Amino acid sequence: MSTTNAATFTGRVVRIVDGDTLTVLNDEKREIRVRLAGIDAPEHSQAWGERSRQYLASLAFAKRVSVEWYKTSYNRVIGVVIADGVDISLAQVKVGLAWHYKRYEAEQAPKDRQAYAAAELEARKERRGLWQDPEPIPPWDFRRRRY
């Protein structure tokens, strides 16, 4: 996280919305929607969208997590979620089920930016997940065409 204004909370993941958004029930029993920082995953109706959501569920659903967040957007906090010691955004990129969201990479700490970029390059090279498709459509392009 590149900002010094980051805050942290903990809780249990109670819902997986899609491959880059989940809901955490915090320790004060308040549900908080969290958009995973640093990535953009395929949309529900897009190729690989359901697989991305399912993989995120395997990483985080019903688990206790720590969320380091730094801003809000569309009634969601944007942050890094750690489950079982794993940065789940980075895990999504490593298996080829999300893109490193370069539009917002300046908001990432340099080490995170480098790790996410390297993970995407490796996933592309190894043709993991969505990189098996000859020309995967980034979700930001899919949204622009569709909405």
Domain boundaries, the chain: 7-134
Choose, from 53, 76, 113, 120, the residue flagged as catalytic.
76
pLDDT at position 6: 81
Phi and psi torsions of 53, nearest 5°: -60, -45
pLDDT of 3 higher than 90: no
CA dihedral over 58, 64, 68, 69, signed as positive or negative: positive
**pLDDT tens track for 77-123:** 999 999 999 999 999 999 999 999 999 999 999 999 999 999 999 99
pLDDT of 1 higher than 60: no
CATH classification for the domain delimited by 7-134, as one of 3.60.15.10, 1.10.760.10, 2.40.50.90, 3.30.1360.170: 2.40.50.90
More confident residue, 3 or 35: 35
In the annotation, is 43 catalytic?
yes
Would you say how long the chain is, in residues?
147
Closest among 74, 73, 79, 85 to 26, alpha carbons compared? 79
**pLDDT tens track for 49-80:** 999 999 999 999 999 999 999 999 888 999 99
CA atoms within 13 A on the CB side of 109: 13
Choose, from 30, 31, 35, 103, the residue flagged as catalytic.
35
Task: Give burial (CB, 10 Å; 0-12/13-18/19+) of 47.
Answer: middle
**pLDDT tens track for 6-42:** 899 999 999 999 999 999 999 999 999 999 999 999 9
